[in-house]
Structure 1
Amino acid sequence: MVWNAESALREAGMRVTRQRIAVLSALRDRPHATADTLTAATREALGSISVQAVYDVLAACAENGLVRRIQPAGSPARFETRTADNHHHLVCEVCGRVDDVDCVIGSAPCLSPHDAHGYDIAAAEVVFWGTCAQCGSAETAPAGRRSTKE
């Protein structure tokens, strides 16, 4: 079944607005997009929208579980609509590409710390850093994280 922004907003008990539909639709088509990327895409669909309005939509949707915000080290915040599981991310150190990867060990929270210090752990966030196949075939992998490109 195809994810539908309007249905998702209704199911979350949120008002359905043109701006919310446009931002969520842009994000559906651009997983791991930054707010700047989503603003540009939403402007193509609506004609105009402020950067602040996009951030407001993203914040409201994150608060209601429709959007997940991730921020790999050295990278701007990115957003995704895959929120119903405890998946992780692969980040290319060359081009900044971000891909989803399912849990490492099965059921959430995927990883259990040696000592949880009394915490009731609900999720684990893991970021794998490396070189994507496209960049790996184009050049030798760098020694460390270099890029924040999208």
Structure 2
Amino acid sequence: MPDDVTRLLREAGLRVTQPRLSVLAALDVHPHADTSTVIDAVRAESPDVSHQTVYDCLSALTTAGLVRRIQPSGHAARYERRIDDNHHHVVCRSCGAIADVDCAVGDAPCLTASDDHGFTIDEAEVVYWGTCPACAVGAA
């Protein structure tokens, strides 16, 4: 993985730095992580990395298209490495857990809007809301 990540950073025009590598590694272990989770994971390996450095890394990686930022309504921003497809998310209304949901049919059916209003659509963001299995058991 390190060689692939190094190549991806360079291809995106970013310098290869330990904090960026650490943030990407944290997101591999914690998909859909909020900033606090990323900070905790990075600082577990490198205690001297500042909060601001992690924020800056997340921003640069998102801008470069190496990380996807999602922010379901009413929840903190989350980050993920799965960027190479048009997938969606399911969010638990109770605990905020998030999971990936592949498009239901075809390559990217959600990119065909019933009325595009003249827009050139290149991404669709669908969020399914519900209750995760752990919360459903607790509510029963």
TM-score normalised by L of structure 1: 0.85
CA gap of 1:77–1:62, structure 2 versus 1, over 3 A, is same
Q: Residue 49 of structure 2: SS of its match in structure 1?
A: coil
Question: What amino acid maps onto 2:17 in structure 1?
Answer: T
Q: Residue 60 of structure 1: SS of its match in structure 2?
A: helix
CA gap of 1:27–1:108, structure 2 versus 1, over 3 A, is same
CA gap of 1:21–1:136, structure 2 versus 1, over 3 A, is same
Alpha carbons 1:5, 1:25 under 8 Å: kept: no
Q: Residue 113 of structure 1: SS of its match in structure 2?
A: coil
Residue 15 (structure 1) aligned with residue 26 (structure 2): no
CA gap of 1:110–1:2, structure 2 versus 1, over 3 A, is farther
Distance 2:135 2:2 in 1: 31
Distance 1:2 1:72 in 2: 31
Residue 39 (structure 1) aligned with residue 33 (structure 2): no
- What fraction of aligned residue pairs are identical, expressed as a percent? 51
Q: Which stretches in structure 2 are left out of the alignment for 5+ residues?
A: none
Q: In angstroms, what is the RMSD of aligned CA positions?
A: 1.9
Q: Which stretches in structure 1 are left out of the alignment for 5+ residues?
A: 141-150
Tell me the equivalent position of 1:52: 52
Tell me the equivalent position of 1:129: 129
Alpha carbons 2:111, 2:122 under 8 Å: kept: no
Alpha carbons 1:89, 1:99 under 8 Å: kept: yes
CA gap of 1:37–1:87, structure 2 versus 1, over 3 A, is same
Alignment of 1:81-92 (within 5 A): 81-92=81-92
Distance 1:116 1:69 in 2: 24
Paired residue total: 140
CA gap of 1:61–1:132, structure 2 versus 1, over 3 A, is same
Question: What amino acid maps onto 2:8 in structure 1?
Answer: A
Q: Residue 57 of structure 1: SS of its match in structure 2?
A: helix
Question: What amino acid maps onto 1:85 in structure 2?
Answer: D
TM-score normalised by L of structure 2: 0.91
